[in-house]
Amino acid sequence: MTVSKIFLLLSFFACTCKGSNVLVFFPVPSRSHSSLGNSIVNILLDAGHQVTCVTPFPLKTNHTRLTYTDISSVVQEATDSARINVAELSKPKGSHWVLPMGYNFASQALRHPAVQTLLKDTSKTFDVIIAEWLYSGLLAPLAAVYGCPLIWYASSDVSWQSLRMVHEASSPAYSVDAQSLRVPALPFTIGDKAHQLILQVYLSAWIYYFTNYVELPAYREIYADPLQLRGKTLPEYESLVYNASFLLINSHPPLGQNIPLPRNAKYIGGHHIGLTRKPLPKDMKKLLDDSKKGVIYFSLGSILQGRDLPEHMKRELIEFFGQLEQTVLWKLEEQLAGLPQNVHILDWAPQDSILEHPNTVLFISHGGLMSVTEATHHGVPIIGIPMFGDQFVCVELVTHRGCGIRVDFNNELPSKIREAVNEILGNQSYSINAKHASTMFRRRLVSPQKELLHWVELVADTRGAAFLRSPAVDISTMQRLNLDILLVIVLLVWFLSKVIKVIRAHLGDLSATKNSVKKNE
């Protein structure tokens, strides 16, 4: 091998081994969302990349290639405004309620002094940005500031709203809005399709309003100075919102609606589930190992906590749990007196490790996507108690696949949980279906961690992976629905009808003239 060839080979390896500089921007003040962001950060760090992470929940670390931009001061304000009122859970809000929430989270983060310092630091450069999408496009102009590609990350299952960021809205003929309370069985009836179509049109109007009258002024206020410092002018806002290179979706077909995707959108659900996980604490491991009749794990997540339940509900549930032969682990965030021997209250619980344990036979959950993902990964059936947001859709899909039962939150909750627990423990089909879903979820060409890393590196190395870009984002709604062709056809028919009318009138005049001539003769 010649010296020149060796030099070229070494140069190639040097280029391919060079880590990218990545900005990971996760503004949502929720620990579950933050866990997803931390998973992405760790995947990138393990691959040798340099990472700057904007988060309300920075971890203590001395990693030389990780820099945190701490926005933790937004957490208390957001928590106070987002606190769930149990009495209001029976009064679901319209689907548009998430739009101001997503805007507020993004706006609060971008206006934070630490983020403003980052934006105005002209020495900072990035090769790619991974920004969490939550019903707002306000993070999209980050790509214009740093002159690099943007990857949207959807923490929920793909929906028509997230898909339209890189492609076009999915059809209401087979997909429901992510905030729907029910998921009809396929194929949808005409009524189901009409309902979803009307909902898309209605929410599209809300999205147009928020984009042009709420987010646009904020965009000008937040990004004018950072762009000006770099010698750039403000581009058209909407062109930035729909100019992302890629969409990463925290879901997978055995979990979600299985909506068809374009080439620049990929499922990477389960990336936060470690290939190896920390062992259970010794006392908890012994408890689970000794629970030969099985373990039931009960957790309502981090936003609506178990302690928020009415006292009579907690007492009725404890009374029922005490009658079971299974061990019950309840993440309740408070200690209760007079507990049965088989009921154990936990302030903190290593959920993934508990679900992994072979003695865990049932998971009673709020139905958040992360919880459903972990239960599906480990093949544990679910009793879902959806509270808000996409939890209703998540739980509905679990029940459609025979992997669990939905229980609505109301005054009959304890009795309904009793019925659901007895049904699942007495019917092996739920466990069998859950194990089958686990097999489908795990059978992939590569792990979700490797897939996520592959697409991020591809976008960074190719400056946006333009060859994967969907052509749907570059055409108008009229063109996409072929309304322009329909308009041409309508105009053509109208023109031909006028021509025919003129010809008929002309022929009528000729006939009348001939008849008049004959009479005169």
pLDDT, tens digit, for every residue of 167-201?
Answer: 999 999 999 999 898 999 889 999 999 999 999 99
Q: For residue 93, give the 3-state DSSP assignment.
A: coil
* pLDDT on residue 10: 39
Q: Parallel, antiparallel, or unpaired for β 343-346 and 404-406?
A: unpaired
Whether residue 128 contacts residue 20, with contact meaning beta carbons closer than 8 Å, is answered with yes
Amino acid at the residue 150: L
Of the candidate ranges 87-96, 139-148, 204-213, 322-331, the one whose mean pLDDT is the lowest: 87-96
Nearest residue to 436 (alpha-carbon basis) of 202, 254, 240, 298: 254
* Residue-by-residue DSSP string for 245-283: SEEEES--TTTS------TTEEE-TTTTS-SS-PPPPHH
Residue of 162, 188, 149 lying closest to 261 (CA atoms): 162
**pLDDT interval class at 15 (50, 70, 90):** very low
Cα Rg of the chain (Å, integer): 28
Which of 450, 468, 471 is CA-nearest to residue 459? 468
One-letter amino acid of 79: T
User: Both tokens of residue 102?
Assistant: 């997503």
Do residues 459 and 465 lie in contact, with contact meaning Cβ atoms separated by under 8 Å? yes
Which residues are CB-neighbours of 501 under 8 A, at least 6 positions away? none
pLDDT exceeds 90 at position 121: yes
**Is pLDDT at 14 greater than 70 in this prediction?**
no
* Cβ 365 vs Cβ 424: under 8 Å: no
Higher pLDDT, 384 or 496: 384
Structure tokens given for 182: 């029910």
Helices (H), 281-412: 282-290, 311-321, 351-356, 369-378, 391-400
pLDDT at 76: 65
pLDDT > 70 in the chain, percent: 88
What is the reported pLDDT for 505?
80
CA 213 to chain centre: 25
* CB-CB contact of 301 with 334 (8 Å): no
CB-CB contact of 269 with 161 (8 Å):
no
**DSSP state, residue 284:** H
Helix (H) or strand (E) holding 74: helix 74-82
Q: In which residue are the tokens 């019917």 written?
A: 427
Question: For residue 432, what are the CA distances in angstroms to 236, 424, 428?
Answer: 53, 11, 6
The pLDDT assigned to 6 comes to: 41
**CA nearest neighbour of 394 among 368, 365, 431:** 368
Average pLDDT in the 328-352 region?
A: 89
Q: Tell me what pLDDT residue 485 has.
A: 79
Could you tell me the pLDDT band of residue 85, with boundaries at 50, 70 and 90?
low
Q: Indicate whether 332 pLDDT > 90.
A: no
Separation of alpha carbons 264 and 257, rounded Å? 18
CA 195 to chain centre: 22
DSSP 18: S
Q: 196 with 406: CB under 8 angstroms?
A: no
The tokens for 455 are 């697409």
Among the listed residues 387, 472, 163, the one whose alpha carbon sits nearest the alpha carbon of residue 172? 163
pLDDT number for residue 12: 41
What is residue 311's predicted lDDT score, i.e. its pLDDT?
87
Q: What is the pLDDT of residue 519?
A: 63
pLDDT tens-place string over residues 360-411:
999 999 999 999 999 999 999 999 999 888 999 999 999 999 999 999 998 8
Tens-place pLDDT, residues 208-238: 999 999 999 999 999 999 999 999 999 999 9
519: exposed, middle or buried (Cβ count in 10 Å: 0-12, 13-18, 19+): exposed
Look at the alpha carbons of 286, 288, 293, 298 in this order and tell me if their dihedral is positive or negative. Answer: positive
Find the helix packing angle between 369-378 and 391-400, rounded to 10°. Answer: 30
Q: Which two tokens stand for residue 52?
A: 């700057």
- pLDDT mean across residues, the chain: 89
To the nearest 10°, the Cα dihedral for 337, 339, 341, 345?
A: -90
Describe the strand order of the beta sheet including 360-365 as a list of residue ranges: 343-346, 327-331, 295-299, 360-365, 382-384, 404-406
